[in-house]
Structures are given as C-alpha cells and as structure tokens.
Structure 1
Amino acid sequence: MTTTPITEMNDRTRDIFRVVVEAYLESGAPVGSRTISKISPLELSPASIRNVMQDLEELGLLAAPHTSAGRMPTELGLRLFVDGMMQAAEPSQEERDAIESQITEQGPVEDALRATTSILSGLSSCAGLVLVPKREPVLKQFSFVKLSEGQGLAILVSQDGSVENRVLDLPPGISESALVEAGNYLTARYGGQTLSQALAVLDREISAGELAIDKASEELVKAGLVTWSRDPADRPVLIVRGQAKLLEDGNLGDLERVRGLLDELEGKQEIARLLDSARDAVAAKIFIGAENKLFSLSGSSVIAAPYKDGDGQVVGVVGVIGPTRLNYARVVPMVDFTAQTLSRLLGK
C-alpha cells in the first residue's frame, strides 16, 4: 500500500491523525473519538471525528484492534508520522549530562561503549545497542602449514598475543620451502601493520613488480592476507544492554512478542547487520516493525545513528530497540546526541 503524503490531507484530517498518534504513543492504548474531542483544539463533535478516523483507517494509517472503538496507528501510519509530522524534542540538559558522563576519556573505549548502551537503555526504556568499531589484528608473525595437496593452514599471531588459524587453498604444486618463504616474507615485510594496510601495500608492490619472492609464494602471501582482511567485516561485534526494559510496563503488549524480540536479540548477527545498514545515514535512521523482515513477528522498532573516528570515518553505530510505540520525538534526538558525543570522544 502506498503511503498518503501529508500534503494530500486537509488540515482537519492531518490534525486528527497527529492527535491520535501522539496520544497512542503516550498511553499505548487505542484512542477514541471522545478522547480526541477533549484533547484536540479542533471544535468537532465525536461523530465528525469518527468519520475522519474511518477515512484514515481506509487509507491504512489507523487500525481498530479487536472490537475496540478506539484507533491506533498502523506501522504505515507511524512511518508517515515520523517522516512528515514529528516535532523532535532536543535532549534535556539532564539527559545530555547523563550521556556525557558515561562517554569519557577515562579507560578503554570499549568501556565507554558498554556504558553508552546502558545509559541509553535507562533513558529510553528500551534495550541499548552499539555496534563496536571493527578492530583488525596487527600482524606480528605469520606462517603456513601444508595440510594436504591443495590445502593449507595459515597461522596468524597478533601483537596482542592472540593466535588465529584459517584453512585456505594452496597454489598447485607449491613446495614446503615456498610456504616457509611466504610466512617469513609476511612477518618481515608487514609486521606492525593492520591486515588491510598490509594488503594495500602488497597490491602496490605487486603492481610495481617489487616483490622479491617467486610467483607461487606471491599468490600465497596475498591469499593469506585476504583471508584475514575480510574477516572483521563478517563478524561485527554487537553490545546489547537493558533487555529487561522490554519486559517492563507492558511495552510490547503481549508476552509472545516480548519473547520474539528477545530471541532476535540473542541472534546478534542479524541485529548487527541491520545496524550496519545505518552506517551511511546522515543522522538517526528509523526502522519500524515489519518494514524489516527481522521484526515481522515482534513488531519492534530500531533507532540507530552512526558515529565516527578522528578522520571522519564511520566506525560503528549506536541505537536502541523497543516496541513500535516509542516516544520517537524524544528518543531520536537522544540517539543522535549520543552518536555525536561518541564521535567527539573518538576524534580526540
């Protein structure tokens, strides 16, 4: 169904729609025509309001749950409201102070990120999320071991002492001495660099014909670096705090939806991919309910914003996840402010 543009609604319809959405987001309950007649500045009878609400229901913007006489916004209606009618409220000074007090220069960045998710969860009554900057290992020592004809094991020792292994395909007919040569070359030439840095240097050296190793070792060196340089992008690290907030105050309406959302949070990879899609956003990005297939059952919303390092490069995403009945006008600026504060910290 195509969303009706705000500009195609007359003033009366637009005002009633806004009042319904705001009252629903405030109370979580369907809103009736009598309630609207009391809180709306419009001097309309309940009967006139019901007629407008019926029109909005036919447009797919409102729905009447069960046999209730009241109406509540559909996900389509929430999207229309958020994109075209919402008046965002800047975070209060108290909220700003609370966020900034957790995002400090004291201690590791990871501690600040964990604290960030906790404070966002507390302020928004949602679960706080942060996609951690992808940290590539820094090369210290590299070696290759032949497992069988055509298959070998690449062993990487990082400067932090961690050891990782990867199985990879070997060039046809490669000798044991070539394996040793490739490992020694990687260690000597690229030690102290991240893998992506090493791969960029390797590409330049190959193009310039500057590698002082044979062709078989050259192929192995490149294969070894590529094996690891792709890996961080496939394994984003997601920190989640405040899942218990989702169980408070009947936020999701029924227990099955709560369970569905908690199950989704357990599968961090899918949530991480969703957050990762917000990396290119200029400000906070909003995902509402079944717009994303991940939330087709739980009816949840995610508000996420990217944060940057000192070079202005996006390194992660921060946000919250909760019911579609979020106070978007309050939470969206809060997430934006948190992302900006993180960017300032990482830019120092």
Structure 2
Amino acid sequence: MASTPVSELTERAREVFRMVVENYLGSGAPVGSRTISKLPGLNLSPASIRNVMQDLEELGLLAHPHTSAGRVPTESGLRLFVDGMMQAAEPSAEERAAIEARLERGGPIEEALSATTAALSGLSACAGIVLVPKREPVLRQLGFVQLSPDQALAVMVGAEGSVENRVVDLPPGITASALTEVGNYVSARLSGLTLNQAQARLGEEIRDGRAALDQAARQLIEDGLALWSEDGARRAVLIVRGQANLLDAAAAADLERVRQLLEELEGKEEIVRLLDSARAGQGMKIFIGSENKLFALSGSSVIAAPYRGREGKVVGVVGVIGPTRLNYARVVPMVDFTAQALSRLMA
C-alpha cells in the first residue's frame, strides 16, 4: 500500500498525480510537466508542476526513469490510484453484448467459459484467464468400437455433451456382441450417474448377481470408467486465452519483461493458487506488480473476480493478466461484469 493516503495529499497534488497516472496508463510512456501543463483543468506552469511531481516522488508515488525527463507512477502510486482515486467506466452496451454472446452458444460449460474468456481478453487487450469449476463428469453413454482383436476405441459421452475417445486393450475372449452388450448395459443402468456412482452401481450389481454381464464385459466397463475418471482428474482446470495481446507495440521496448510474463503464464499450477485467493476472498482482487510474487519479475498486474453457481456458492474465478499500465478504470468493471455473466450461466 502507498505510505500516504489520498486524504493527506493537497488538492493540487491529487490533481497532478491523477493526471500523471491517467496519462501514463493511456500512453505507457513517462509523463513530463509540459504534457500535464497542456491538459485542461489545471492552471499551473510547468515549473510549478515539476515541483509538485518532485514532492510526489519523495512520497514514493512517482518514479523518475533515468532515460526520461518524465515520471511514471510506482506500484504504490498505482495502488493509491486504484483504491482511492479511480473513476470506473462501466462496460459499453457493445462490450456487454460481446461477452454475453459467447454465453448463448450452448454446448459444454468448458467451451462457454473458454469463449467468454477469449472475448474478455480481446476487449481488455490482456491475457484472459478463467478457473474452471471442478465438476465430476456425469456419464451418458459408454461405447466400444473394435479396432483389432485386442484393442478397441472407447467412446465416452458426458451428460453435458462432451465426447472423449481413448484406445483401450480388450480382455481376452471379448466378442463383438459383448461390446454391444456393454453399451446397452451402460445406457440402461449407468446413464445419468457420476463416475463414482457408476462404479459403485456396477460393483453392487455384480455382487448381487444383477449385472447380467460376463467377466470380460464387466472388466471392460470397469476399465473404461476408470480410464475416464483418471483422465478427468488430470484435466487442467485453468484456461488462458489471448497471450498474443501481451505482444503489443509498447512491448517491443521491453521484450524481456514480456518473455518473462509468457514464461510465468506457463506455470498454471502457480496461477491456480493465485486465483484461489480471489475465490477465498469472495470479491474482486487486484494484484499490482510485486504485490503478487508470481508476476513480480515481469511487473504484471492481475485483476480477478469470483463467479458463483447455484445457491450463490463461489465455483470459479475469471480475470485478466497484463502490464501494470492497465486501463484499470475500464478493465476492472469489465472483469466484474464477466464474472456476473458467468454466475448467471452457472446458476
């Protein structure tokens, strides 16, 4: 946090500071006193503005890059601006429509989350991220297509429409009619159950003699359910979209920072842990630069908000990652709107 609260800055200092920050966030370049003096609403000479900027620098709110006569806000200065001075701009009707349109396509939840994150990424010019709620797959169908005497293609269909294919080894003595029998049994007895429920039901019916399946067919169903369950447990729960947005014109002057950021985005487990803090906090989280250890080296900011499912329970997190010079006033409400839209989808 900044060492100086907004209330302790003079009105002149607050106005100069606000203009410097807003100008910097818009251009990404250091801001000089002459630039500020030409802006409307501030009747001060460049010399007077330089004195105020020097005072703000001594307070740790502005920094003076060696290669420029202008100044840039420090991370403490950005935190002060975001927490106490920023005037948020609500998303436009076009931006809201662009986000909501991705939710109306239907299909698996994961696809809607991915498409919505891609839309948020494009609108914010950042990398979009979404933490997908952990959901146990629900079985609709499990079928087998024989490929050879000892292998088959397992086709697993989830209740939400997802389809996954895996090659499995066939038990000795399995016949084509047995493969059909397996599919019929799953559709009749296991459809609509979670994987754990399906495995438990199969075990119960085998013990009670109600399965009406031979040993090879039972083994094939058990193997198929176990394969899908294991694969689902390994599936990534984080979706990242729009990394290319980080390679903008301003990034050319700081390619090392961008390279570092792209490397950090590969560490999905670390990002998941970071986003979990937003899930736990129940509200919007804004991490600026080194406030967050994960992106401290690249000097990046993270804006994240939880979204909710049924009964208002937090089920995931959506947000963006970008440079510290984000247009916070525009992006923060955009992330918040996206989280609200996802909450309506999940309810």
TM-score (norm 2): 0.72
Instruction: Using the TM superposition, give the Cα deviation of residue 264 of structure 1 relative to its aligned residue in structure 2, in angstroms.
Output: 0.5
Is the 1:299–1:324 Cα contact (8 Å) retained in structure 2? yes
1:300 paired to 2:293: no
Letter aligned with residue 106 of structure 1: G
TM-score (norm 1): 0.72
Structure 1 vs Structure 2 CA RMSD: 2.8
Q: 1:339 to 1:235 in 2, by over 3 A?
A: same
Residue 205 of structure 1 aligns with which residue? none
Is the 2:28–2:250 Cα contact (8 Å) retained in structure 1? no
Q: Percent of counterpart pairs with the same letter? A: 71
Is the 1:137–1:195 Cα contact (8 Å) retained in structure 2? no
Instruction: Using the TM superposition, give the Cα deviation of residue 333 of structure 1 relative to its aligned residue in structure 2, in angstroms.
Output: 0.4
Letter aligned with residue 48 of structure 2: S
Is the 1:138–1:193 Cα contact (8 Å) retained in structure 2? yes
Residue 46 of structure 2 aligns with which residue? 46
Letter aligned with residue 110 of structure 2: E
Instruction: Using the TM superposition, give the Cα deviation of residue 275 of structure 1 relative to its aligned residue in structure 2, in angstroms.
Output: 1.1
Instruction: Using the TM superposition, give the Cα deviation of residue 159 of structure 1 relative to its aligned residue in structure 2, in angstroms.
Output: 9.6
Letter aligned with residue 12 of structure 1: R
Instruction: Using the TM superposition, give the Cα deviation of residue 292 of structure 1 relative to its aligned residue in structure 2, in angstroms.
Output: 0.8
Letter aligned with residue 336 of structure 1: D
Letter aligned with residue 292 of structure 2: N
SS at 1:129's partner residue? strand
Instruction: Using the TM superposition, give the Cα deviation of residue 3 of structure 1 relative to its aligned residue in structure 2, in angstroms.
Output: 2.2
Residue 274 of structure 1 aligns with which residue? 274
Q: 1:51 to 1:239 in 2, by over 3 A?
A: same
Instruction: Using the TM superposition, give the Cα deviation of residue 108 of structure 1 relative to its aligned residue in structure 2, in angstroms.
Output: 1.0
Instruction: Using the TM superposition, give the Cα deviation of residue 136 of structure 1 relative to its aligned residue in structure 2, in angstroms.
Output: 3.1
Residue 89 of structure 2 aligns with which residue? 89
Instruction: Using the TM superposition, give the Cα deviation of residue 283 of structure 1 relative to its aligned residue in structure 2, in angstroms.
Output: 3.9
Q: How many residues align?
A: 272
Q: 1:273 to 1:236 in 2, by over 3 A?
A: farther
Q: Output the CA distance in 2 between the equivalents of 1:59 and 1:16.
A: 14
Instruction: Using the TM superposition, give the Cα deviation of residue 296 of structure 1 relative to its aligned residue in structure 2, in angstroms.
Output: 1.4
1:135 paired to 2:135: yes
Residue 264 of structure 1 aligns with which residue? 264
Spell out the pairing of 1:302-341 with structure 2 (5 A cutoff). 302-341=302-341
Is the 2:133–2:315 Cα contact (8 Å) retained in structure 1? yes
Q: Output the CA distance in 2 between the equivalents of 1:245 and 1:304.
A: 18
Is the 2:25–2:326 Cα contact (8 Å) retained in structure 1? yes
Please, which runs of 5 or more residues in structure 1 have no aligned partner? 140-157, 164-190, 197-227
Q: Output the CA distance in 2 between the equivalents of 1:41 and 1:100.
A: 38
Residue 17 of structure 1 aligns with which residue? 17
Instruction: Using the TM superposition, give the Cα deviation of residue 273 of structure 1 relative to its aligned residue in structure 2, in angstroms.
Output: 1.0
Q: Output the CA distance in 2 between the equivalents of 1:97 and 1:25.
A: 26
Q: Output the CA distance in 2 between the equivalents of 1:8 and 1:235.
A: 50
SS at 1:257's partner residue? helix
